[in-house]
Chains A and B, each alone.
Chain A
Amino acid sequence: MITGSIAGIGAGLAAIGAGIGIGQIGGKAMEGMARQPEAAGRIQTAMLIAAAFVEAVALFGVVVAFLGTK
């Protein structure tokens, strides 16, 4: 018997979205760096900032799940 809160499913869904987003960002940044190795430093910085914004969405999901399970 599995018991738990539906908030956990919500957190999981948020994680799927963020996973797709960060995957896209990382993949495209890799591509960009392979095409232009001399711009790797700047691409990496921009990638981390964009990844942080996307990740924040997943973390909002986690925080809401926390509030939901209390």
Chain B
Amino acid sequence: MDLSHIFNSKKILNIVFSAVFITAMIFSAQAQETKKAEEPHVTKSEINAPHEEKEEDISQTILHHIADSHEWHFWGEGENKVAVPLPVILWTNNGFVTFLSNKHDHNDHGTEIFEEKGQQLINYHGKYYYPNAVKNAEGAYVELDENAVPTNAKPLDLSITKNVVSLFISVILLLIIFTSIAKAYKKREGKAPKGLQSILEPIILFVRDDIAKPQLGYRYAAFMPYLLTVFFFVWLNNLMGLIPFFPGGANLTGNIAVTMMLALCTFILTTINGNKNYWGHVFTPHVPWWLYPLMIPVEIIGLFTKPIALMIRLFANITAGHILILSLISLIFILKSVMVAGIAVPFVIFISVIELVVGFIQAFIFTILSALFIGMAVQEHAEH
């Protein structure tokens, strides 16, 4: 894999580097300002709150930032928060219940029962549950198990959450970009690419020549649509997850349900394209017959571990990256000193730049492993 042909223009490199440095300077300047502004506030709340609770708060905040939510939060907390409410769609005992998330988000401690279409519900930490008949010690209508997770029954949540909106945005973006280049290829057939086409052509060719062809051989053409879709979907969402404000910031590829669906697509493709040879490997492996009771279960487990590893790899990589960035920012609040920002903020920028590379590499790895698994399923015996 030679990536240099993508980045061979020195001009582009110069622009990218100067852009990174300018944003770095702006960010560090902003961070200094906000730190100054928040300094008295932090010390004041520190007096009120015990030390342990503060640290718990930080890990809660980080987990809250990478999680899905029923609203798209911009800035501010409590009364002054600026957020876009998103529709909540619940399949309850009384059928579908829909409302906007800001209607019932003022109390998320589960201490207040509200009624929608005759269905009693509570909001506990942003999730909707059926209320218990009695309150617990904290006045909430929930019963918590030992991990502080409510054991209440809950309605099936089919809401348009932040991640779903982000998914819609990225799908629309991909459709606009790729239908326009597909049209350009039809219109300008045989001519040099132009505009968007010239940016994306090297990447499309990279997917074809460095991912599909080596793994799939002459059958690559049939799987190109899937591989290109997966590659650009994962890459775009990795990049959008790194944008800290509106169109991005939703951590979509860091959501295990999304990566599970992507891995499931690969699993379905391998399963339906698997030839006699592939299934032969699973059910009649090349070992003495008395090893069959051991080998066949192992091979069957192997069918499932491959997509599960795909799922966890993408999820954990992206989630770990986001947690790392947030933890470094939180260092300022853990150590309670503005001076830490001088080290933490440049480090965050450094990690963010690494995350840009990781976003590309993970898209590449997901695609090449999908191609590899499909290739294993379709190859003939002689090709070993």
Decide if B369 touches A52 in the complex (CB within 8 Å).
yes
Which of A45, A53, A56, A60 meets B1, CB within 8 Å? A45
New A-B pairs, 5, CB < 8 Å, besides A41-B1, A44-B2: A42-B1, A59-B317, A62-B316, A62-B320, A63-B316
Q: Looking across the interface, which residue of chain A has its beta carbon closest to that of B320?
A: A62
Task: Give residues in B with beta carbon < 8 Å to A.
Answer: 1-2, 147, 149, 210, 214, 309, 312-313, 315-317, 320, 361, 364-365, 368-369, 372
Decide if B316 touches A49 in the complex (CB within 8 Å).
no
25 A–B contacts, CB within 8 A, in A order:
A41-B1, A41-B2, A41-B210, A42-B1, A44-B2, A45-B1, A45-B214, A45-B368, A48-B1, A48-B365, A48-B368, A49-B365, A49-B372, A52-B365, A53-B309, A55-B317, A56-B312, A59-B316, A59-B320, A60-B316, A62-B316, A62-B320, A63-B312, A63-B316, A70-B147
Q: Mark A11-45, 1 if CB is under 8 A from B, else 0.
A: 00000000000000000000000000000111011
Contacts A40-B2, A48-B1; is A59 near B365 (CB within 8 Å)? no
Contacts A59-B313, A59-B320, A63-B312; is A45 near B365 (CB within 8 Å)? no
Decide if A44 touches B365 in the complex (CB within 8 Å).
no
Provide the residues of chain B in CB contact with A70, threshold 8 Å: 147, 149
CB-based closest 8 A-B pairs = A59-B316, A45-B1, A52-B365, A41-B2, A56-B313, A44-B1, A56-B309, A70-B147
Instruction: Give CA–CA (A49, B376) in the complex, Å.
Output: 15
Task: Give residues in A with beta carbon < 8 Å to B.
Answer: 40-42, 44-45, 48-49, 52-53, 55-56, 59-60, 62-63, 70
Provide the residues of chain B in CB contact with A62, threshold 8 Å: 316, 320
Instruction: Give CA–CA (A70, B145) in the complex, Å.
Output: 12
Contacts A40-B2, A45-B214, A48-B361; is A60 near B368 (CB within 8 Å)? no
Provide the residues of chain A in CB contact with B316, threshold 8 Å: 59-60, 62-63
Which of B147, B315, B369 meets A49, CB within 8 Å? B369
Q: How far is the CB of B60 from chain A (nearest CB, A)?
A: 12
Q: Looking across the interface, which residue of chain A has its beta carbon closest to that of B1?
A: A45
Instruction: Give CA–CA (A52, B373) in the complex, Å.
Output: 14
Q: How far is the CB of A61 from chain B (nearest CB, A)?
A: 9
Provide the residues of chain A in CB contact with B313, threshold 8 Å: 52, 55-56, 59
Provide the residues of chain B in CB contact with A55, threshold 8 Å: 313, 317
Contacts A56-B312, A59-B317, A62-B320; is A48 near B364 (CB within 8 Å)? yes
Q: Looking across the interface, which residue of chain B has its beta carbon closest to that of A3?
A: B52
Q: Looking across the interface, which residue of chain B has its beta carbon closest to that of A47?
A: B1
Provide the residues of chain A in CB contact with B312, threshold 8 Å: 56, 59-60, 63
Provide the residues of chain A in CB contact with B369, threshold 8 Å: 49, 52
Decide if B2 touches A49 in the complex (CB within 8 Å).
no
Instruction: Give CA–CA (A48, B372) in the complex, Å.
Output: 13
Provide the residues of chain B in CB contact with A52, threshold 8 Å: 313, 365, 369
Instruction: Give CA–CA (A63, B313) in the complex, Å.
Output: 10
